Amino acid sequence: MTDKLVILPGDGIGPEIVAEAAKVVGWLKDNADFDIEIEHDLIGGQAYDEYGEPLADSTLEKCRSAKAILMGSVGGPKWDGVEYNKRPEAGLLRIRKELNLFANLRPALVFDALVDASSLKPEIVKGLDILIVRELTGGVYFGEPRGIEDLGNGERRGYNTQVYTTSEIKRIGAVAFDLARKRSNKVTSCEKCNVMESGMLWREDITALHASAYDDVSLEHMLADNCAMQLLRNPSQFDVIVTDNLFGDILSDEAAMLTGSLGMLPSASLSEPGQPGLYEPVHGSAPDIAGQNKANPLATILSLSMALRYSFERGDLADMVEAAVKDVLDSGKRTGDIMSEGCTEVSCSEMGEAVCSALESVQAEKAA
């Protein structure tokens, strides 16, 4: 059976950026022995308009039978008034939950050509290559009880529950250790064990997992607030950072900013081995530039590259796509968001075409 990729463009700039990643898929199919079936469907506001749901059951079924799903982004002012459980973002939460996407991988990679885009000094971020592994389906965002209650005296009380079990902690820990083995073999595990029992359990369980199955990987524990500081002070000390849903949300956004541009940041959300993975740029639907052919498609193209590496097991093709992106940046082509003096501004579609042309050269160099 042929492997399947489901493409869900979504809202705002989603269709524009995903179209460029689809060009890269087309190039790989035509030129690089990459035989996959592609299906398209809707998610987010577009799906709400068409199906009355931000993620239809039929779309979900298509995704379940795929190796990977490539998504653009969801949301926009058009759907601001839609009821809470039908808003575009609810489609994203549903797909993560239904596909049991418990591991969110967010690389923070600084391309040499973009080193000046970071707000940190070039010598601090040059060559930076960090991978944040965030637990995505547990913790305070899902814990019960939760709610807002009326205390009857003019006061209200809002509450959420931070909760993790040993199996949830070990499952995400194993993902981080396995990935570290393919990188620089170091994991930093972050929690707040000084003030939270769930953090104490997290530290104990990661320590036990390390001792039982991963003692060849270097493990360091760090309080999440210290990690936030160290990311700015000396980010190169990190290889893989593993952390819970809440701290991961914040630390991965902080690490993202070390690279300077939202338009460059890919992500992967993975389940158990063999199950479909979801690949999407970190940024949103950018309604302010939607429909103008101005968006940077590289975060989506790099998300596709993660799909090649983690779901299709084609690390060779992922390396080619990443080399092509590097070559395009080295040649000075930039979309507006990463534009700098002396470079050439290109549109979203021109950037996608430039990556496909660069793939020709990367392949020729490989063959030589």
User: Per the structure block, which two tokens stand in for 356?
Assistant: 């496909």
Q: Interface with ligand NAD includes 355 (CB under 6 A)?
A: no
Which stretch, 58-66, 154-162, 293-301, 313-321, contacts ligand NAD (CB under 6 A)? 293-301
Q: Nearest-CA neighbor of 282 among 293, 270, 294, 298?
A: 298
Phi and psi angles of residue 278, each rounded to the nearest 5 degrees, phi first? -110, 130
What is the separation of C-alpha 75 from the centre of its chain, rounded to a whole number of angstroms?
Answer: 17
* H-state helical runs in the chain: 14-31, 45-51, 57-64, 88-98, 122-125, 166-181, 197-213, 224-233, 245-258, 298-310, 315-330, 348-367
Q: Interface with ligand NAD includes 283 (CB under 6 A)?
A: yes
**C-alpha dist (Å) from residue 136 to 11, 105, 152, 169:** 23, 10, 35, 11
Q: Interface with ligand NAD includes 295 (CB under 6 A)?
A: yes
Which stretch, 28-36, 178-186, 225-233, 282-290, contacts ligand NAD (CB under 6 A)? 282-290
Q: Interface with ligand NAD includes 334 (CB under 6 A)?
A: no
Quick check: is 244 catalytic? no
Q: Interface with ligand NAD includes 73 (CB under 6 A)?
A: yes
Q: Interface with ligand NAD includes 269 (CB under 6 A)?
A: no
Quick check: is 51 catalytic? no
Q: Interface with ligand NAD includes 15 (CB under 6 A)?
A: no
d(C-alpha 82, C-alpha 141), whole Å = 22
- Check: CB of residue 135 under 8 Å from CB of residue 245: yes
Quick check: is 192 catalytic? yes
Strands 3-10 and 36-40: parallel
Strands 266-270 and 103-109: antiparallel
Nearer to ligand NAD by Cβ, of 210 and 283: the residue is: 283
Q: Of residues 105, 108, 262, 307, which one binds ligand NAD by CB under 6 A?
A: 262
Q: Of residues 284, 334, 352, 356, which one binds ligand NAD by CB under 6 A?
A: 284
Place of tokens 């970190």: 282
d(C-alpha 113, C-alpha 238), whole Å = 21
Q: Interface with ligand NAD includes 352 (CB under 6 A)?
A: no
Nearer to ligand NAD by Cβ, of 17 and 354: the residue is: 17
Quick check: is 80 catalytic? no
- Subset of residues 75 to 104 that bind ligand NAD, contact rule: CB under 6 A: 75-76, 89, 92
Quick check: is 41 catalytic? no
Q: Interface with ligand NAD includes 106 (CB under 6 A)?
A: no
Q: Which residues are catalytic?
A: 141, 192, 225, 249, 253
Residue ranges in contact with ligand NAD by CB under 6 A: 13, 17, 73-76, 89, 92, 262-263, 280, 283-289, 295-296, 299, 337
